[in-house]
Amino acid sequence: MAARNVAMREAIRRALREEMHRDENVFVMGEEVAYWQGTHRVTRGFLEEFGERRVRDTPISEMAIGGVAVGAAMAGLRPVAEFMTINFAFLALDAIANHAGKVRYFFDGMFKAPLVYRAASGWGNQATASHSHAPEPIFAHFPGLYVGCPSNSMDAYGMLKTAIRDDNPVLFTESIALYPKPGPMPDEGEELLIPIGKGDIKREGDHVTLVAYARGVDWALQAARQLSKDGIEAEVVDLRWLRPLDMQLVYASFKKTNRCVIVEESLPMYSFGSEIAALLQENMFDYMDAPIKRVAAEDVPLPYSKTIELLALPNAQKVVDAVKEIL
Amino acid sequence: MAHEVKQTTDGLLINWLRNIGDSVAAGDIIAEVEADKATVEIEAGSDGAVLELRAEPGDEIGEGSVIAVIGAAGETIAAASDSAADQTSPEESTPAANGQSLADDGRVKASPIARRLAAEKGIDLARIQGTGPGGRIIKSDVENVRARPALPPVPTTAPAGGGQPTWGKMPEDDVEVLPLSRMRRAIADGTIRSKSNTPHFYVTVEADVEPLLALRAEINAQLAERGIKVSVNDMLIKALALTLREFPNLNTHFYGDRFVQHQRINIGIAVALPENGLLNVVCHDADSVRLSEMAVNNKAMYERARAGKIKPDDIRGATFTISNMGPYNIVDFSAIISSPEAGILAVSSSRRIPIVRDDGTLGVGTRMNMTLSVDHRVSNGAEGAAFCNALRDLIENPLRMLDLQQA
């Protein structure tokens, strides 16, 4: 492994570049991905390197982006379609949930949809109520669509490469706050493929299991370091994929700790936390030593005020507090 | 070789009756301990000299803790401690919950894994103090309970009290706030736990007590020269014990995931004490002990209980309980089961009442109501009824006890 850390946006860029070089059927499309070099600079330099045929700017129409990707995939290409932010992907929900996620079933496998939807996700910097969603659980609701949500550079790289190569549609979300976050990467020329549905233990501990994904993993790890000062060792499980869920990993950890706090960037109702908590009580009832706690955003439209915005959002301290409530 | 004196119940050390260096004989009373429900005398277990006293009057001491060491005069404490070490086998758990592990409805608050582990290890959760949030019993609380014998011992008293919820705001004037005695607290905990956790059902029968009273008069006439007097209660205890012999299912204790059926029949006897106290003393082997012997033993126990000088064995090992309110001129009442027992017999006063004889004519008879409370997890109404009828038949034909006694 290289010693040099790489920002997560660069890790994603590298994965995309490598896959485009590996397979000429892979192409990128989306708003401003070509001439503007990508809103989040993930496709920086792609137009020059791969040309207009494989790096395509689209109209400002998420339904078109979502739908064209399905058609291209059915016709044999492997599109990587970018939604500038996931807030706009709601417009494409029909293409994503009803078409991408179902076409293989509709046609009994005659067609498939080997596509990846990339979308920047999450809140921060006073983007307010309609531009601050982290709605990954909504998309993970639908069978037929995989949902991947990396928490760091290495995972983003390995997960995106797997997603592009898989013959099923994947929604791949990238936390805006994590784009600049540096992290280790495989050396150039060294390849990493992280299987779909495989979670990862980011930190080992015996006293409580913190289950998280994407940005929640950062808060969980920060909380774990703080708890460690009080002699509480938290195990941090990064599920990485919201569908399929690596529940066996969670169960194994829970059998050891008997306690769980679920950490997510998203809203609390009908959420990632709700699902994990429900599965734990159904399957691990006899191992529970405390109620399952959830740390999520407050159940409100996100306010504009910087101060109130921060109050409404999860953070490491809220995770610490939740752990101490059940220990 | 040095011998430890172990505390046999939870309580407050009141007095040392021997000092370090004093010689003692096995059975000598060396300390008095204020337990939940009585002052308990602690006996020396062996002859020797008091080498060490490990508690001060006023100290809270737990069941199974070593409070004194007795050994050969001049033996060093170090040697005593060494030999003491391999004798240390406290089998009991963290002593009795202080009530904080109870939910508002009296249910024991325990996590699912704590419940599973307790069931696997045969531990009664009611005896564990929870250390989790809100007093919940959690995994580590169960893990910290040391191994216990194959059969759970019968709790000697109701669990110690404490931590009961405060009901509403306390008025400030015109009231006097009184502290709970240890005994009152234990009664509060024991009854709320039983009444909340045990599904009671009740069966009432009326018995003609004239034959029993007549027989008692005859027996007491025979025993008069020995200065022994058999009480009605002694005879009822005998009848109850002999009936239990026919109904072993009711001489069973319920432990959540299994039944423990007792071979011995030890009848707990509820005794009212001064200052609103209540204590169950135990008539051991009530089915087989001679009536005259039972009468003497019971009388001595009542006196010890009322004097606050109860011995540990006096309150240990009940398998079924009787509460006799006959002297209080009442028609009927029902009693709260002393968990984990399967039932309790509530005996009311004998009364002269109009009766309908078998031939249909009216007359005057002496009748007594008895109400059996039964744990429905252990038994059903049909068995309760059969038991009550068998008991009544025995009371109404008391000479049959002579025959059953030999069984």
Where is average pLDDT lowest: A29-43, A270-284, A310-324, B94-108? B94-108
pLDDT at A162 over 50: yes
Over 50: is that where the pLDDT of A44 sits?
Answer: yes
pLDDT digits (tens, 9 = 90+) for B319-348: 999 999 999 999 999 999 999 999 999 999
Q: Which fold has domain A200-326?
A: Rossmann fold (3.40.50)
Distance CA A156, CA B25 (A): 80
The average pLDDT across A169-195 equals 94
Chain B residues whose C-beta sits inside 8 Å of any chain A C-beta: 111-114, 116, 132-133, 136, 138-139
- Burial (CB < 10 A; 0-12, 13-18, 19+), residue B73, is exposed
What gap in Å lies between CA B394 and CA B400, rounded to an integer?
A: 7
pLDDT at A188: 86
Pick the CATH number of B189-405 from 3.40.190.10, 3.30.559.10, 2.40.30.10, 1.20.1050.140: 3.30.559.10
Mean pLDDT of B376-389: 96
Of A286, A290, A327, nearest to B116 by CB-CB distance is A286
- The complex's ipTM? 0.71
- How high is the pLDDT of residue B237? 97
* Structural domain spans, chain A: 6-183, 200-326
pLDDT at A201 (0 to 100): 98
Q: Among 4.10.320.10, 1.10.10.10, 3.40.50.300, 2.60.15.10, what is the CATH number of B92-153?
A: 4.10.320.10
**How far A286 CA sits from the closest chain B CA (Å)?**
5
B138–A290 CB contact, under 8 Å: yes
**Interface probe with B: pick from A289, A324, A327, most Cβ of B within 10 Å:** A289
Domain A6-183 fold is Rossmann fold (3.40.50)
Least confident of A41-45, A166-170, B180-184: B180-184
Q: Do domains A6-183 and A200-326 have the same CATH topology?
A: yes
Interface A–B counts its CB contacts (< 8 A) at 27
pLDDT for B122: 81
Sign of the C-alpha dihedral, residues A204, A205, A206, A210? negative
Residue B78 near residue B168, CB atoms below 8 Å: no
Q: Which of A258, A285, A326 sits opposite B139 (nearest CB)?
A: A258
Q: What is the pLDDT of residue B50?
A: 84
Look at B55-69, B117-131, B244-258 and tell me which has the smallest mean pLDDT: B55-69
Beta partners for residue B202, in sequence order: B373
What are the tens digits of pLDDT across the range B35-46? 766 777 788 877
Half-sphere exposure of residue A221: CA atoms within 13 angstroms, side-chain side:
13
CA distances from A282 to A157, A277, B252 (A): 34, 9, 35
* CATH annotation of B3-85: 2.40.50.100
Q: What is the pLDDT of residue B169?
A: 56
pLDDT level of residue B8 (50, 70, 90 thresholds): low
Per-residue burial over B39-65, b if 16 or more Cβ lie within 10 Å, else e, is bbbbbbbeebbbbbbebeeeeebebbb
| CB B231, CB B215: distance < 8 Å | no
* B262 in active site: no
| CA–CA separation, B197 and B209 (whole Å) | 34
- How many C-beta neighbours within 10 Å does residue A130 have? 11
Residues in chain A: 327
A chain contacts of residue B132, beta-carbon cutoff 8 Å? 289-290
- Widest Cα–Cα separation across chain A: 58
Query: B275 or B375, which is more confident?
Result: B375
Residue B100 has pLDDT above 70, yes or no: no
Nearest CA in chain B to A285: B112
Supply the mean pLDDT for chain B: 82
CA distances (Å), origin B103, targets B89, B109, B187:
33, 6, 18
Q: What is the pLDDT of residue B172?
A: 63
* Predicted pLDDT of residue B264: 94
B285 torsion bin: left (phi>0), alpha (psi -120 to 50), beta (else): left
Task: Please give the average per-residue pLDDT across B377-404, as a whole number.
Answer: 93
Question: Residue B43: enclosing H or E segment and its boundaries?
Answer: strand B39-43
pTM above 0.90, yes or no: no
pLDDT over threshold 50, residue B93: no
Q: Strands A182-183 and A6-7, how do they pair?
A: antiparallel
Instruction: Give the pLDDT of residue A300.
Output: 94
Environment class of B326 (CB within 10 Å of its CB; exposed 0-12, middle 13-18, buried 19+) = middle
User: Angle at the Cα of B329 (from B327 to B334), degrees rounded to 5?
Assistant: 90
How high is the pLDDT of residue B181?
79
Mutate to test the interface with A, among B117, B120, B139 (most CBs of A within 10 A): B139
Q: What is the CA radius of gyration of chain A?
A: 19
State the pLDDT confidence band at B84, using cuts at 50, 70 and 90.
Answer: very low
Q: Please provide the size of chain B in residues.
A: 407
pLDDT 10s digits, B187-200: 888 899 899 999 99
Stretch A34-55: mean pLDDT: 96
In this structure, of A133-142, B6-15, B106-115, the range with the lowest mean pLDDT score is B6-15
Share of chain B above pLDDT 70, in %: 80
Cα distance from N-terminal residue to C-terminal residue, chain A:
38
Task: Find the mean pLDDT for residues B234-259.
Answer: 93
Would you say residue B107 has pLDDT above 70?
yes
Least confident span in A84-93, A211-220, A250-259, B115-124: B115-124
Q: Is the pLDDT of residue A210 over 60?
A: yes
Mean pLDDT of B259-269: 94
Joined together, the tokens standing for residue A14 give 């590298």
Domain ranges of chain B: 3-85, 92-153, 189-405
* Burial class of residue B177 (count of CB atoms within 10 Å of its CB; 0-12, 13-18, 19+): exposed
Mind listing the pLDDT tens digit for each residue in B120-168?
888 888 878 888 888 889 998 888 886 444 344 444 444 444 444 445 5
